Structure 1
Amino acid sequence: MPAPVIMILGTASSVGKSVLVAAFCRIAQRRGLRVAPFKAQNMSNNAAVTADGGEIGRSTAVQAAAAGVLPTVAMNPILIKPEGQRRSQIIVEGRPWQSLDALDYWQRKDQLWAVVTRNLDALRNSYDLVIAEGAGSPVELNLKPRDLVNMRVASYAQARTLLVGDIDSGGIFAQLLGTLMLLEPDERALIAGMLVNRFRGDPALFHDGVSILEQRAGLPVLGVIPWIHDLGLAEEDGVALERKAAPASAGLTIAVVQLPAIANFDDFDPLAREPGIALRYVERPEQLAGARAVILPGTKHTLAARAWLHERGFDAALRSFPGAIVGICGGYQLLGVSISDPEGVEGGGGNAAGLGLLPVNTSFSQSKRTLQVHGRACTPWANAAPLEGYEIHMGRTYGDEINPVAIITTRDQQASQHFDGCYREAGRIWGCYLHGIFANHAFRQGWLQSLGWQANPSASPPPPDPYERLADTVEAALASRSGEWFEGLC
């Protein structure tokens, strides 16, 4: 018999659905269930690589980690990666499928429904429970006829469905009650209850609000989930960058240039978690003032990012910047001498001069590299330190007689001997393709120390496992309203 499905729907984007799915996955895992996350269609440039080289949304990989299982492409069979100018690369079952504009994709949704159901069925036949996530709002009435991810999935699986609203953004009554009002009767019948997310302060102050919601909706409020500070989980949407701000009293500042179509910005979360480090996302050259280092992150459209840097005046600012300069993936390509896209792999294609800060050139081709890798560092600050991470890129970067950042010894569990990246000026300027490089402790702290940062041996101990902390918080909030309802859903 196929496993049951719990579905988490939101009243809008960025109401906390992804984090709550991770919480439910860990709660179920702690109760002895083999549980898998599922998101039929994800739109994000924050991606992860599965063990077999497939590409899925980063938030789904986080949810799989919360569930204690390896992520697979079945958990996120369709990934839309925006490239700018209303075009996106469509990843189907982990591999690039087509690059389409919004209208072309809209017209192909019906043929992709079979992809969704095939992968959901496979998960239901392999696990005890599936926790599915919606996207945006389930009642965007102009989009519902070709829905792939919200009520169509819930109806197909006959999922016990929870509706989440974000009280911190305001309008919680309109969010929840308005969404319920716009659902069709058979869809509303699937809703098991409501969750009020991101409550600041004492939940007892919202007791009357709970009563009003329950009376008007005819459904229980199953929990009032508190705002969870500094959880440290990878975010799905670039919207999250609006909430990332450096503490005013922070010490060493690192600036990350917020490029158009920024990708995999969670690469830098391990830096932000170090005591005495302030991570600042910047969009103008004058915001580099006072920073000890500047990082160019990944981007889904390198040539567009190059033009943006020039238009914003970053060329001169970066060339005269006195501190460390780093590029990861697309940022590495931008630091080079030239960027060539003769086949129009990213949008309209073309050629451009890079920033000229590293002696490398990049050329794009249709083949995409998505790999989990292991290796060791070759840099002055972390020579021979172990490294692990992943690659997601379509460009190939090359140069003569360069100093590599890393030697890759394993790719997708196969032995390899490949140099990645380039550094110059004793490591002041460097770049590489390795996403997740700052998650490697020795490499990260060695680089920070080269900037003048000092580890504090008397610093507070690291926070508890974020998945356990998340599950504890959410489970306590659920129990306060509904006892042991979770077992009933399972």
Structure 2
Amino acid sequence: MSKAIVILGTMSSAGKSLIVTGLCRIFARKGIKVAPFKAQNMSNNAAVCKDGGEIGRAQYLQAIACKIEPTVDMNPILLKPEGNSKSQIIIRGKVWNSLNAKDYYKRKRYLWDVVVESLEKLKNEYELIIVEGAGSPVELNLKQNDIVNMAIAKYLDAPTYIVGDIDRGGIFAQLLGTYWLLEEEEKKLVKGFIVNKFRGDINLFKDGVSIIQEKSGVPVIGIVPYITDLILPEEDVATIEDFAKSAVKSADKKIDICVISYPHISNFDDFDAFKMQREVNLRFVRRVEEFGKPDLVILPGSKNTISDLIWIRKTGFEDVLKRYVQNGGKLVGICGGYQMLGKKIHDPQKMESDTETIDGLGFLNTVTVLRTNKTTRQITARMVKDIGSFTDENLEGYEIHLGQTEFLDANHGIFEIIYENQTIKDGAFSEDFKIWGTYIHGIFNNDAFRNSFLKTLGVEISELSYKESLNKNIDKLADVIEENIDVQKIMEDAGIF
């Protein structure tokens, strides 16, 4: 019979996603067939499963931590904010609707059935399900519509643990306040508290542990230290802004890469491999004053390309980019960023805004038309045009976009995408090859391509395996959690022996 545990947070970004990721790897290393589950996630940083379905990046990473193939049932509902208080609703990996919160909540019965069906599928296949909640479980004005926090814990009758972020302060109010606001039947499911992101000497918090336990009757089962040098895919934009603030250019950082962080940035984990490369200083910038003198500028993916293109103009980045290119700078666009590099973007059905046509940045001779049919698929590609970083190895990645891009001259076809016995040309470039774009997400996770491309910036690069580095970081996270959380108690609570 399948077992389950539930990890809830006192708020968004309390660290529950990483706690779940670490626990997934811990139980996988113990030989338990384990899978992650999050009923409903909200993020524009999606991942694409083998069947082409979208799920939250956190659940994709958690599946990797479990050493299993990610599936849409691990995150059956994904909300992708579009602006104007609306979100695109992804149900079991496919676009279902675009709704505001009020209309979304009216579909609770249908959405709950979706959640339960996916959860039951996982229970039939795995020995242990590790459930992640969302936000706070005690948003009292929204609780009647809950399909992701205590509703799941009660459905599973599963031991539940509440994670608080001590780094933000107010840890007593976070943990005790959350617990006290639960209903009595819900409190019975809470088997422990986890204090997360602790800085300094943990022994200095012994009195704090005693206070929490005395006032709640619930044990503190772990105090997890703040891990400063962990590099794992994130799904919250706030985390990349925190990364940007903390990034320091040291002497061995020989390449400076600037990613324009517009309001609807998506799939920003495309650049995680650069974070791992010791020669690279990766910066996410939101103001022209932060632009500096980069060796490479990247326009990343966007959930609302037209809106973000307008933002680029309003903030002055368009003029900055034009001067940068005139001075010989190198510029790359991925997905939405690729669309922006062209001559025009057409949105005849007004899917992204009321603007039917907008001029692009004009760096590439392409035109993009946004269409209702969304392309989401994992792909294999090969490089057929030498843009100064040629590799004959097959490349892996994924597509996730609405637009179709038309080429207006011969400067296109950097890659051939191989998908279901089809060969599709992808990517366009400038005559001097200093500017190029592609729809392939994850292109820089391919070691041979990334290392070859970075060498075109004039620096010798140390060899790095992205997949090996990713797994080392997951193992490091798991080691820290196993050392600082009472995993044996969790196993006993769940009936795992």
Whole-Å separation in 2 of the counterparts to 1:203 and 1:144? 34
What is aligned with 1:258? 261
Whole-Å separation in 2 of the counterparts to 1:166 and 1:285? 32
Output the amino acid matched with 2:380: H
Per-residue deviation, 1:463: 8.6
Matched, 1:308 2:315: no
Q: Secondary structure at the match of 1:431?
A: strand
Matched, 1:6 2:15: no
- Shift in CA distance, 136/190, structure 1 to aligned 2, threshold 3 Å: same
Tell me the TM-score normalised to structure 1 length.
0.95
Whole-Å separation in 2 of the counterparts to 1:15 and 1:192? 18
What is aligned with 2:281? 278
Matched, 1:288 2:291: yes
Whole-Å separation in 1 of the counterparts to 2:490 and 2:289? 53
Whole-Å separation in 2 of the counterparts to 1:124 and 1:294? 45
- Aligned positions of 1:28-107 closer than 5 A: 28-107=27-106
Equivalent pairs, count = 483
Output the amino acid matched with 1:358: L
Matched, 1:420 2:426: yes
Per-residue deviation, 1:388: 0.6
- Shift in CA distance, 398/259, structure 1 to aligned 2, threshold 3 Å: same
Per-residue deviation, 1:385: 3.6
What is aligned with 2:372? 366
What is aligned with 1:204? 203
The answer for unaligned runs of 5 or more in structure 1 is none
Matched, 1:398 2:406: yes
What is aligned with 2:356? 350
Q: Secondary structure at the match of 1:427?
A: coil
Whole-Å separation in 2 of the counterparts to 1:204 and 1:362? 58
Output the amino acid matched with 2:457: L
383, 388, 392: which one aligns with 2:396:
388
- Shift in CA distance, 196/484, structure 1 to aligned 2, threshold 3 Å: same
Whole-Å separation in 2 of the counterparts to 1:117 and 1:78? 11
Whole-Å separation in 2 of the counterparts to 1:56 and 1:487? 31
Whole-Å separation in 2 of the counterparts to 1:23 and 1:383? 35
What is aligned with 1:162? 161
Whole-Å separation in 2 of the counterparts to 1:383 and 1:190? 54
Whole-Å separation in 2 of the counterparts to 1:109 and 1:485? 31
Output the amino acid matched with 2:302: T
Output the amino acid matched with 1:468: D
The answer for unaligned runs of 5 or more in structure 2 is none
Identity among equivalent pairs (%): 48
Whole-Å separation in 1 of the counterparts to 2:176 and 2:27? 28
Output the amino acid matched with 1:307: I
Task: Select between 358-367 and 419-428 the one with higher mean Cα deviation.
Answer: 419-428
Whole-Å separation in 2 of the counterparts to 1:173 and 1:464? 34
Q: Secondary structure at the match of 1:15?
A: coil
Whole-Å separation in 2 of the counterparts to 1:181 and 1:70? 38
What is aligned with 1:470? 477
407, 422, 425: which one aligns with 2:416:
407
Whole-Å separation in 1 of the counterparts to 2:403 and 2:412? 19
Whole-Å separation in 1 of the counterparts to 2:215 and 2:27? 30
- Shift in CA distance, 12/117, structure 1 to aligned 2, threshold 3 Å: same
Whole-Å separation in 2 of the counterparts to 1:41 and 1:464? 26
Whole-Å separation in 1 of the counterparts to 2:353 and 2:162? 37
Per-residue deviation, 1:111: 2.1
- Determine if contact 2:232/2:470 at 8 Å carries over to the other structure: no
Per-residue deviation, 1:469: 1.2
- Determine if contact 1:81/1:88 at 8 Å carries over to the other structure: yes
Task: Select between 419-428 and 220-229 the one with higher mean Cα deviation.
Answer: 419-428
- Shift in CA distance, 109/464, structure 1 to aligned 2, threshold 3 Å: closer
- Determine if contact 2:46/2:54 at 8 Å carries over to the other structure: yes
448, 471, 475: which one aligns with 2:454:
448
